[in-house]
Amino acid sequence: MRTLLVSPFLALALAAAAEPEISFDLRGPAVVPRMRPDREPGDKPPPPAVALRLDKEHASLTWTDPELQAHEFTLDVLANHPGPKPWSQHLAWIVARSKDDFWILWAYFNETGTRCWINYYHFAENIARMSLFQGQYLYRPPEAFTNSPSDIQIPAARIPEYKGPKFRHRDFSPAGGKFRKLRWLDGAAWKDRDEELTVKPLIHLNVPGRNGWASEGWTEIHALAWNADATKLYYVVTYTAVDHGWAVDLTDGTVIKTHFGEKVVLEQPK
């Protein structure tokens, strides 16, 4: 029998290549902030709107507000799913939470690269963005994620007014509504969580065609949902293209694939 010799350096490299690792050095897109009275135009370059850092020692999102105040959030990578090939290998769900604010990031990564597209919604601004982030990264997600729970609390009175198009989605409309139950995917089986949720829409997103997933475009309705005693808070995404969607559990730090039984239907203006 022929013996295969492997150098110690190669063995270490192969072992390292097999281990999950998430390491990023990304810088966000620049914005032009509102000038303070004591600052002259051109004094300093504007700070980034969002700066991301994801590595084993420190995972954070830093947002610079219009008053040039920096706010730092701790990031949790919640889940990983296959991305739209050949555009990306992975779709990662990431969340940043404080007690009264949060960011949801759905990001498109390869195993390694120097730039990536990231969508991110910020509750305090009620704005979703899609930006190209540049910087070296390595992304080999683990098979399972362990995420810390959060004591996030957002009362219904703080949810901003929805200003998107009119729509119908079972018992859910621009004025708000109910999800009578949450049907979710557990492995390969759909299960029902018999807990009625109150839901209010936040924003809508129009996704153009030829987007990596499909040739035709669609509209998304993003919303907040919570249970009767407000111990669970979800960020929900529903679609006009398909009757399933997503619910990001902001309390426990998990991502749930959901089935709503029907698509969102946009109402045409009269």
**Pair of tokens at residue 25:** 């050095």
Average pLDDT over residues 246-263: 91
pLDDT per residue as tens digits for the range 123-136: 999 999 888 888 88
Assessment of whether the complete model's pTM goes beyond 0.85: no
**Domain ranges, ordered by start, for the chain:** 16-140, 156-266
Task: Name every residue whose Cβ is closer than 8 Å to that of residue 32 and which is 6 or more positions away in sequence.
Answer: 46
Average pLDDT over residues 215-238: 91
Neighbour-count burial for 75-97, b at 16+ CB within 10 Å, e otherwise:
bbbbbbeebeeeebbbbbbbbbb
Phi, psi angles (nearest 5°) of residue 8: -60, -35
Average pLDDT, the chain: 82
Handedness of CA 30, 116, 59, 79 (dihedral sign): positive
Which of 26-35, 67-76, 174-183, 258-267 comes out lowest in average pLDDT?
A: 26-35
Residue indicated by tokens 């990536």: 116
Q: Which residues pair with 121 in a beta bridge?
A: 104, 128
pLDDT per residue as tens digits for the range 97-106: 999 999 999 9
pLDDT of 9 above 70: no
**Pair of tokens at residue 118:** 């990231």
